[in-house]
């Protein structure tokens, strides 16, 4: 118990103290979060009318980001799986960083759920026993179950591992390993269920196909590692933590495969839908070429496709893939390409035209953009803290023995110097 | 002075009842006493808010009744009186901004021009031998937003046909299945209803509905005091609040009292028929037995209790 208190207080003390760069970054994020809170306040006094959503297109930026971020959360398994199933040494050292990313991404998903709801004050209606939980009928209920389960699994696995490192004790594999294996399968389940959420609606022909879950999973396993590689490269540059090259290279290989499959699935969808060009293809047609003269998503689609193809080619070439100056560019291209494809490019055209044939467009308002940015900022805020704490423990800067000594303030100063902006 | 006192009193009543409303359960699972209490609470709030005596009815489904609806597409002249009557009867939001304007009935206007002779002979391969396909490039019934709110000089227009739609009250409603909190459900006498106080506004039901029958209250409904219909039902036309979904419920406040829905009553050509599907002698049952009847999007297996027919 004393160890646990020591862990908590040392951890908090360590993550709250940093250099100028750290405070500037956190301050910047806080400003964005404050703006989002104001937007959220407007939404819950004026109503969703302050957003661009209508009765025709009633899911927009929020739902799009929600879907995308579930993928990022699931993408963390690209570290956990090689580490524990293939005993990849480089990955094993940084597994916990992947789990921290998963925690942050799931929290972001939940923030977007709050932003999306018409009545967030009534979310308690979903809590079993005091409310009603429509199981097994409602796919949304399943999604809530798997997402919360995934958050809990990653929290337990991640922090138990860190705690063991902190105290210098051994990880109890008897229950730790089963949990890790469960969390690997669970990662697949969160994105599968999120795909089912929209692909089980015959009313929306654009979404109503069985390719959705596998497409979600491959895009997740491309976008997730892109973010992880970027984070790894930043960590290598700004902290004393060294992440091995072969861990990064393995992630690039995974991205190459998954991005290739994702592009193949996109191609399959386009051929199947546009060859026959039934009215069920109107959503995709709107996305690619516009419908009835309305074309607001067309540039988004083609830029997304271009980003993904250029990114894929860059990943294919070994000379670029292993060049850590060019790799971030490929990662940013693939990440933003998938963000468009799976976000706005998937959710919005599902509503165009409406089931009765109305063609209408969706323009996010400033409030929506602010809330979206703020939710991402909140996610990065949490991610920075979690990564900083995890790195401190992995490096041995936060240890049980030193926990008592830290009170002198001496160590706090040195760790501050060591972890200058460990973002 | 008196008015001011009344105002403050009503504000108190409003605050107190709204607070209690936050903690009430799902209407379907309440005991009869709790239901009565919830309705009285609402009556107090609405009466204070709209400055008149508002009743919130709770009449339950009667055994042996299954409501059904039949619409004669041949007869509809597209006058949209049903739309107007529905808005007035059911306390829909009627503001000036698009997001404040809710109509449950849509009268789809379809141009006969889609099937004009000059569009017919375009399927033969042209140019490089690419099949272009008849009038496939102007799919019937596809319009820009708001075009269903047509305002013609006179109806029926010469070159148009009309197809009114609203909630189909499906026997296998996709909206009910996806609701995470079971706030929307099929009543024993047929209509699919919503407990507006239990809805969390997730809008999954709207995504699931193949008939675009559901609307979200994007803001507090704009409902002028003098236009508010004070005869309401808990699961029916009582005023809604911001952030919840609403839709047609076949005027439960009327039909459970043996009256016709407002749209049936107002239709000038008698295109709309309503009755008990379990009574073989009812008008709707006779139509099903004798006329050419079809359901909209029957291939989706939603089994609407809203039928279309023609003579």
User: What is the pTM (predicted TM-score) of this model?
Assistant: 0.91
8 Å CB contact between A121 and A44: yes
Touching check for A152 and chain B: CB below 8 Å?
no
* Interval A373-398 mean pLDDT: 94
Rounded CA separation A177/A54 (Å): 47
pLDDT of residue A292: 83
User: What's residue B125's pLDDT?
Assistant: 62
Residues of chain B where predicted confidence (pLDDT) is lower than 70: 1-14, 114, 119, 121-127, 129-142, 145-149
- Give me the residue from B144, B177, B201 closest to A137, CB to CB: B177
Identify the pLDDT of residue B132: 60
CATH classification number, B65-111+137-311, choose in 3.90.550.10, 3.60.70.12, 3.30.70.20, 3.40.140.10:
3.30.70.20
Domain spans, chain B: 1-53, 65-111+137-311
Task: Determine contact: A128 vs chain B, CB below 8 A.
Answer: no
The reported pLDDT for the residue numbered B5 is 42
The reported pLDDT for the residue numbered A109 is 96
Best of B24, B212, B241 to disrupt the A interface (most A CBs within 10 Å) is B212
Q: Which residues, at least 6 apart from B269, have a Cβ–Cβ distance to it below 8 Å?
A: B75, B76, B77
Does the pLDDT at position A39 exceed 70?
yes
The closest of A337, A130, A76, A197 to B208, measured between CA atoms, is A197
Tokens of B239: 């005023």
**Euclidean distance between CA atoms A26 and A421, whole angstroms:** 10
Which residues in chain B have their CB less than 8 angstroms from residue A282's CB?
139, 142
Average pLDDT over chain A, rounded to an integer: 90
Q: How many angstroms separate the first and last alpha carbons of chain A?
A: 30
ipTM here: 0.89
Contacts with B29 from chain A: Cβ below 8 Å = 132
Interface contact flag, A125 B147, Cβ < 8 Å: no
Other beta carbons within 10 angstroms of residue A121's beta carbon come to 12
Please tell me which of the candidates B22, B148, B200 has its beta carbon nearest to residue A358.
Answer: B148
Give me the pLDDT at residue A410, please. 39
Q: Which tokens go with B243?
A: 């952030």
Strands (DSSP E) found in A326-378: 358-359
């Amino acid at each position: 118990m004393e160890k646990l208190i020591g862990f908590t207080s040392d951890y908090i003390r360590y993550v709250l103290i940093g250099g100028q760069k750290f405070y500037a970054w956190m301050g910047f994020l806080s400003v964005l979060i404050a703006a989002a809170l104001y937007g959220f306040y407007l939404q819950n006094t004026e109503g969703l009318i302050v957003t661009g959503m209508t009765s025709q297109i009633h899911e927009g930026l929020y739902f799009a980001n929600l879907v995308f971020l579930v993928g990022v959360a699931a993408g963390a398994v690209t570290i956990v799986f090689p580490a524990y199933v293939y005993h990849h040494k480089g990955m094993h050292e940084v597994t916990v960083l992947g789990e921290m990313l998963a925690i942050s991404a799931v929290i972001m998903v939940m923030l977007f759920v709050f932003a999306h709801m018409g009545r967030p004050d009534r979310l308690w209606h979903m809590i079993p026993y005091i409310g009603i939980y429509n199981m097994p009928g409602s796919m949304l209920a399943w999604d809530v179950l798997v997402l919360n389960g995934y958050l809990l699994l990653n929290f337990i696995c991640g922090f138990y591992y860190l705690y063991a490192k902190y105290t210098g004790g051994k990880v109890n594999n008897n229950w730790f390993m089963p949990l890790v294996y469960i969390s690997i399968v669970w990662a697949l389940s969160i994105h599968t269920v999120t795909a089912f959420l929209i692909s089980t609606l015959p009313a929306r022909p654009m979404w109503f196909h069985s390719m959705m879950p596998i497409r979600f999973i491959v895009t997740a396993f491309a976008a997730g590692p892109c973010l992880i590689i970027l984070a790894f490269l930043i960590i290598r540059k700004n902290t004393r933590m060294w992440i091995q090259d072969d861990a990064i290279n393995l992630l690039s290989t995974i991205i190459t495969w998954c991005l290739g499959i994702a592009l193949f699935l996109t191609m399959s969808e386009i051929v199947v839908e546009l060859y026959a060009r039934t009215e069920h293809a109107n959503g995709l047609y709107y996305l690619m070429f516009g419908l009835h003269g309305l074309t607001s998503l067309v540039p988004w689609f083609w830029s997304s496709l271009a980003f993904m193809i250029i990114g894929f080619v860059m990943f294919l070439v070994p000379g670029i893939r292993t060049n850590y100056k060019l790799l971030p560019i490929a990662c940013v291209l693939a990440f933003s390409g998938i963000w468009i494809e799976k976000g706005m490019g998937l959710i919005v055209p599902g509503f165009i035209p409406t089931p009765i044939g109305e063609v209408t467009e969706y323009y996010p308002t400033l409030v929506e953009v602010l809330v979206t940015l703020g939710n991402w900022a909140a996610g990065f805020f949490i991610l920075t803290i979690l990564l900083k704490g995890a790195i401190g423990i992995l490096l041995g800067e936060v240890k049980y023995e030193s926990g008592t000594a830290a009170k002198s303030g001496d160590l706090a100063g040195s760790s501050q110097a060591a972890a200058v902006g460990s973002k | 002075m008196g008015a001011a006192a009344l105002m403050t009193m009503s504000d108190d009543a409003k605050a107190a009842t709204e607070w209690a409303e936050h903690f009430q359960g799902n209407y379907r699972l309440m005991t009869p006493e709790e239901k009565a209490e919830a309705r009285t609470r609402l009556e107090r709030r609405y009466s204070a808010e709209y400055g008149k005596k508002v009743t919130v009815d709770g009449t339950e489904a009667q055994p042996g009744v299954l409501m059904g609806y039949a619409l004669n597409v041949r007869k509809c002249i597209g006058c949209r009186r049903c739309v107007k009557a529905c808005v007035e009867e059911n306390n829909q939001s009627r503001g000036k901004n698009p997001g404040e304007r809710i109509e449950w009935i849509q009268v789809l206007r379809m141009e006969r021009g889609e099937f004009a002779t000059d569009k017919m002979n375009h399927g033969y391969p042209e140019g490089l031998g690419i099949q272009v396909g008849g009038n496939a490039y102007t799919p019937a019934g596809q319009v820009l937003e708001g075009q269903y709110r047509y305002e013609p000089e006179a109806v029926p227009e010469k070159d148009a046909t009309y197809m009114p739609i609203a909630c189909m009250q499906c026997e296998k409603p996709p909206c009910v299945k996806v609701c995470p909190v079971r706030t929307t459900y099929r009543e024993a006498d047929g209509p699919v209803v919503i407990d507006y106080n239990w809805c969390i506004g997730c809008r999954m039901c709207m995504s699931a509905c193949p008939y675009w029958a559901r609307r979200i209250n994007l803001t507090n409904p704009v409902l002028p005091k003098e236009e508010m219909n004070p005869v309401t039902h808990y699961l029916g036309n009582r005023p809604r609040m911001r952030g919840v979904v609403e839709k047609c419920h076949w005027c439960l406040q009327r039909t459970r009292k043996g009256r016709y829905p407002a749209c049936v009553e107002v239709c000038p050509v008698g295109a709309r028929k309503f009755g008990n599907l379990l009574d073989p002698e009812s008008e709707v049952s006779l139509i099903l037995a004798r006329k050419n009847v079809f359901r909209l999007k029957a291939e989706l297996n939603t089994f609407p209790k809203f039928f279309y027919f023609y003579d």
